[in-house]
Structure 1
Amino acid sequence: MTSWLEFSTAVPSLAERVKARFSAAESHVLATLRRDGAPRVSGSEIAFRGDEAYVGSMLDARKARDLLRDGRFALHAAPAIEEGGDAKIAGRAVAITDLAEITRIQGPEPTHLFRLEIEEAVLTWVEGNTLLIESWHPGRWVRFARPDNGPVVPTVLG
């Protein structure tokens, strides 16, 4: 798994743009897995504290129960492709159980807190008539261009 620090060290320009998209709005769409494996989407906020990224949840909320059972997640920033792009991250959410750490990050109210481990980051935007997509997985960073709605042209960036 990759921490936010490791992701931002590996691909700083992409991490900065992804973080900017998530910081531009308060609420985003979190996808989790229900007990039967079906997807569930919930509103969620992301917090960047120090070198980590976190999501919180009210106690015993469905999204928290989903993440406690199966930490896989996808988080989609509030869409604004014309305003810096469309950002998504996916990976595993790790429950924080230390009350002092939860209080430091979320405040004194009882809550669930999850540190996000990044397995994928994607930023999509438009320049002129070209759709651009940067996709990162540990060890692989690729940009895809789709000029004039034509064939995809990949470029390996790292």
Structure 2
Amino acid sequence: MARWSDFASSSPRLAAVVHDLLHQYGQGMAYLATVRADGGPRVHPVSPVVYAGNLYCFIVRSAKRDDLERDGRYALHTFPSDRSDDDAYLAGRATRVVEPGLVARLGAAMRAEPTVDWWLFELTVEVAVAVHNPGTAAAVREVWRDPGVQSRPRAVDSVQ
């Protein structure tokens, strides 16, 4: 899977659109979908952050953290905008970050409460999709796929 910086280098305009939609309200806001143990989806709001060329998310002790620890697959969807009907979606793998220096630096930069039991995950990107809905014409959909990942069935990025 590609790191955020790989995605942004490969498709800078799309990465900028996704980044702007993630941060449209200031700090990053999105819905994180994970895979439950029974295979079903689980969705939670989260605050992703792009830091030093990578996409991260702090996850407190919860079912979603258990999901990511067991099965790192995720989908991240931007919050609805109050300015447009545009949206964006990322999917890939989440991996726990255990490097103490990075965890401490990012925790301090994002003012993560040190007494809370949170883990830091890096979200790599397999597919990125942005949909621009101009309202007066057909929606324009842009898709980027990590060229290093073997082709998957169409359902991986079937956002309409």
Which amino acid is the alignment partner of residue 22 of structure 1? L
Consecutive unaligned residues of structure 1, counting only runs of 5 or more, are 141-158
Alignment match, 2:57:
55
Alignment match, 1:145:
none
Give the direction of change, closer, same or farther, for the CA distance of 1:129–1:81 in structure 2 (3 Å limit): farther
Matched residue of 1:130: which SS?
A: coil
1:32 aligns with 2:34: yes
Q: Deviations over 1:41-70 (max 9, x none)?
A: 111111111100101111x21111110110
Give the direction of change, closer, same or farther, for the CA distance of 1:81–1:123 in structure 2 (3 Å limit): farther
Q: Deviations over 1:73-120 (max 9, x none)?
A: 000010128537201101000110122211211236142110011001
Query: 4+ residue stretches of structure 1 with deviation over 4 A?
Result: none
1:67 aligns with 2:86: no
1:57-96 to structure 2, matched below 5 A, reads 57-58=59-60, 60-80=61-81, 82-83=83-84, 85-96=86-97
Aligned length: 139
Counterpart-to-counterpart distance in 1, 2:12 and 2:82: 20
Alignment match, 1:23:
23
Q: Which has the higher strand share?
A: 1
Query: Identity of paired residues, percent?
Result: 31
RMSD: 1.9
TM-score by length of 1: 0.81
Larger RCO (CA under 8 A, 6+ residues apart): 2
Consecutive unaligned residues of structure 2, counting only runs of 5 or more, are 149-160
Counterpart-to-counterpart distance in 2, 1:67 and 1:132: 32
Answer with 1 or 2: which has the greater Rg: 1
